Amino acid sequence: MKKKEFKAESKKLLDMMINSIYTNKEIFLRELISNSSDALDKLYYLSLTDTSLKVNKDSLEIKIEIDKEKRTIKIIDNGVGMTRDELETNLGTIAKSGSELFKEQNDKQKDMEIIGQFGVGFYSSFMVAKEVEVLSRSIYESDANLWKSSGEDGYTIESSKKDTNGTIITLYLKDNTDDNNYDEFLETYTIKRIVSKYSDYIKYPIKMEVEHEEEDKDKKKKTVKKEETLNSMIPIWKKKKSEVKEEDYNNFYTDKFYDYEKPLRIIKSEVEGLTSYQALLFIPSHAPYNYYTKEYEKGLMLYSKGVMIMDKCADLLPDYFSFVKGIVDSLDISLNISRETMQEDRQVKLIARNLETKIKKELETMLKDDRDNYVKFYEAFGEQLKYGIYSSYGMNKELLQDLLLFYSSKEDKLITLSEYVSRMEGDTIYYASGESIDKIKMMPQVEEVIAKDKEIFLLTNYLDEFVIKTIGEYQGKKFMNVSDTNFDLSSDEEKENLKKINEENKDLLALMKTVIDTNVKDIRFTNRLKNHPVCLITDGEVSLEMEKVLNQMPNGEKISASKIMEINEAHPISKKLQELYKNNDKETLEKYTKILYQEARLIEGLSVENPSEVANLICEILSK
């Protein structure tokens, strides 16, 4: 029998397929099962119009048989089958578009999941098989044909016999190598795993004989073979919400997404129109251990017609909602989609946009009706929302700002910006930031605000202040750090008084300034402190907290906040300084200044710059 060559294009493609190294060879089974499922579909639809075809819908099925001795896998269906001509055209060429895409992709061989995104179909069997036989009988013929190929060197077709319509594909597995153990595909559990991973929702049963241990009458164990259906057929997201118990959704989530806790929220969405899809999304109750690292991969599972085409489709989720898990099933997405074409795909974009709105709505509902869980959510993923605002330079602020929570000094819990604004007076939203709530509450400036019965946000997350700066203004209200030089709650009279004090002590302050000239921009007396002798405030964009954060960043430029030291004019230290100045004791005044400045740094949670010098100075003064 004469061997026929594959068409030139197919040949090249086949060659690439066989000789490239892919990690997920297992998808060959998905492709063959999908083909069988298509063949069953075709038969069923033909039977709707052609009454001569007697088809019992319940008999349509796919079977998998493994033979360990012969090292073969058979995929069997009772679908439409193929005529000789069809075998020739269908299996002798590869769809052109598919091959183009494949070539494009193949330049980047490092992308391991390459095949996972293609409907390269039938040819993927050559990744695991050294020889493939296709025995097929068309529904319209009584004879069958056998197509055979061992890859690159072409194929043969000969007449054959088969009792019923349909197709039997036999794969003769490749020999094992050091790198590849093809025998694994002869294990029942491997087949079960692959079917449930990719083909669980194929709507026809996928059956296989599976060995079970049973006890006979005499309690002797023996192995019996039983036919099992490997796929669950109807995906949970295709079932009506009323038909599914919450527990089923939860189990589905924990199984599919390897979580040990049930999700906080389940989002179900079904859309028909410009694009049609079903989505089943989950908001986890806690962040995965690697969530805030580079290792974490966002994405939703993408299915097309019940077949999984991508495990983690990143383009369906914006970064700020990267915590969402779930599944999207769409008729409109082609099996041929790749990671590269994904971003360009209109359908994917449309679905992604819809889902974003849906997720946002769900979070808003949770915030409104289920506050405790929302706080739980926020504690796990709030940082990601903040990052979403900050990293987009505020582009997403309208979308995300109302989902943020900050700690309120008044309520001692997390509240929203709108809750703050709803009960505020004036047009300034106050905040202070530091390491912990307790530490911030003890900050001199904060004490003053709380004493005056004003609400203030206490910010402890390193991103908080950056986010607030990015938001800039909320409902026309400006934000102000109480450590900022512009912050002033005093009355006009108090202001006037203070001005006078500073004026009178101008020379003293100027002298002190020369001592710590490189560290501070200014030194002055203040009336805002209660018990503390000194404090540091900042002038300009960078606050002390921001300075700390920025300077911790690897490779970041060292950044310094513009600092002003304020001395409590009502504190005894103030009199002492004035006295030293009057007595012209410059030397002691210098020492006092150095100590006071380091003390101010300590109060603000900054480190002492030159500990041993300061320690010696303190001791010297104590000894006097």
User: Which spans of this chain sit near ligand ADP (rule: CB under 6 A)?
Assistant: 31, 35-36, 39, 77, 79-82, 90-91, 95, 119, 121-123, 167
CA dihedral 155, 160, 163, 167 (to 10 degrees): 10
Which of residues 88 and 447 has its CB atom nearest to ligand ADP in the complex?
88
Which of residues 38 and 356 has its CB atom nearest to ligand ADP in the complex?
38
Token pair in block for residue 63: 């079977």
**Tell me, what DSSP letter sits at residue 4?**
B
Query: Least distance to ligand ADP from the beta carbon of 81, Å?
Result: 6
CA–CA distance, 612 with 624 (Å, rounded to integer): 19
Query: Least distance to ligand ADP from the beta carbon of 115, Å?
Result: 12
Bridge partners of residue 75, in order along the sequence? 64, 169
Which of residues 119 and 326 has its CB atom nearest to ligand ADP in the complex?
119
Which of residues 123 and 474 has its CB atom nearest to ligand ADP in the complex?
123
Residue closest to ligand ADP when measured from CB atoms: 121
Query: Least distance to ligand ADP from the beta carbon of 278, Å?
Result: 23
Query: Least distance to ligand ADP from the beta carbon of 180, Å?
Result: 22
Which of residues 86 and 259 has its CB atom nearest to ligand ADP in the complex?
86
Task: Provide the residue type at 556 as one letter.
Answer: G
Which of residues 39 and 115 has its CB atom nearest to ligand ADP in the complex?
39
Cβ 136 vs Cβ 162: under 8 Å: yes
CA–CA distance, 364 with 358 (Å, rounded to integer): 10
Query: Least distance to ligand ADP from the beta carbon of 437, Å?
Result: 59
Which of residues 122 and 185 has its CB atom nearest to ligand ADP in the complex?
122
C-alpha count within 13 angstroms, C-beta hemisphere, residue 610: 10
Which of residues 98 and 444 has its CB atom nearest to ligand ADP in the complex?
98
Query: Least distance to ligand ADP from the beta carbon of 156, Å?
Result: 17
Query: Least distance to ligand ADP from the beta carbon of 431, Å?
Result: 58
Burial classification of residue 167, based on how many CB atoms lie within 10 Å of its CB (0-12 exposed, 13-18 middle, 19 or more buried)? buried
CA–CA distance, 400 with 19 (Å, rounded to integer): 48
Which of residues 204 and 378 has its CB atom nearest to ligand ADP in the complex?
204
CA–CA distance, 456 with 441 (Å, rounded to integer): 10
CA–CA distance, 417 with 413 (Å, rounded to integer): 13
Which of residues 81 and 151 has its CB atom nearest to ligand ADP in the complex?
81
Query: Least distance to ligand ADP from the beta carbon of 62, Å?
Result: 9
Query: Least distance to ligand ADP from the beta carbon of 16, Å?
Result: 15
* DSSP calls for 386-453: HHHHHHTTTTTHHHHGGG--EEETTTTEEE-HHHHHHT--SSEEEEEE-SSHHHHHTSHHHHHHHHTT
Cβ 565 vs Cβ 517: under 8 Å: no
Burial classification of residue 305, based on how many CB atoms lie within 10 Å of its CB (0-12 exposed, 13-18 middle, 19 or more buried)? middle
CA 393 from chain center: how many Å? 20
Token pair in block for residue 225: 């073979």
Query: Least distance to ligand ADP from the beta carbon of 42, Å?
Result: 7
| Local structure of 494: helix, strand or coil | helix
CA–CA distance, 61 with 79 (Å, rounded to integer): 8
